[in-house]
Amino acid sequence: MARTVVPEAEALLDQEIKVLDKGFVRLVDYLGGDDRIVQSARVSYGAGTKSYRQDRGLIHYLLRNEHTSPFEQVVLTFHCKMPIFVARQWVRHRTARLNEISGRYSIMRDEFYLPELDQMRVQSEDNKQARGEECLDDATARAMIAEMDADQRAIYDHYTQMIEKGLAREIARANLPNSLYTEWYWQIDLHNLFRFLQLRMDSHAQYEIRVFAEAMAQCAKAVAPCAYEAFEEHVLGSVKLSRAECEAVAALIAGKENPLEGRPLAIFEQKLSKIQAAEPAKEIEQAVVQPQ
């Protein structure tokens, strides 16, 4: 069977999608597309055995009912460059294959992440692991960014000096900060990529990994547009209700009082008000630059 060629994906191959100040996502290769999902589901090798409408309906049926194995037949390979602290969140998704640049073999580059002013925000009061909506005043934020920059330069100078004095690279690298940029090749099947995107494109995910997820979503949409459409419809644009929340919906439909209160009620109301935006959030749009 001939290799699946998707024109939209071919146009993206080896094109850097700029992310953050020095990072990028690059689609290196892909295997399969929407056709592969359909063929796998039907255990068929014949191309065009069904109409586009029927193929689209099948893909939506598979994703809606969580028949995941046909989506595992599609594989994407990325070359990514990101700060180390982003990579350490990213690597929690263990259903991928990766090969990262090694500080034992290579001299690490003098490239560090510096946040933009609008990301210099206060600690959230209701989320222990996230930033809040309020930004620091410009003067304070600029001073902190300048301090980060100076610290990074000083630490990198110490790193190179230790190497010049004969210290092994694998020891000298131990002093480098989490803001240092690293690179890797990352290969994953479409089912597990969708799971990554579901978690990392969520508004609760850290901004610095969300922008990478948005860039990778562009690639997934190019490789398998129908599957990505189904993913948007049945995953990104949907909400999952607990048993108590289902009972609350039934009560509201019956004209009865909502039995939920307190924090469970707040979560329920947040789910009801969820609207899948047609365009990415403004801050994401600014951070992810389309390839030329």
Residues known to be catalytic? 200
- In whole angstroms, what is the distance from residue 241 CA to residue 73 CA? 30
3-state secondary structure 18-73: EECCCEEEEEEEEECCHHHHHHHHHCCCCCCCCCHHHHHHHHHHHHHCCCCHHHHH
Q: 196, 81 in Cβ contact below 8 A?
A: no
Nearest to 37 by CA among 73, 7, 76, 77: 73
What is the amino acid identity at position 59? I
State how far the Cα of 203 lies from the Cα of 273, in Å rounded to an integer. Answer: 14
In angstroms, the CA 236 to CA 194 distance is 10
What DSSP element (H or E) covers 86? helix 84-90
Give dist(CA 84, CA 282) in Å, integer: 25
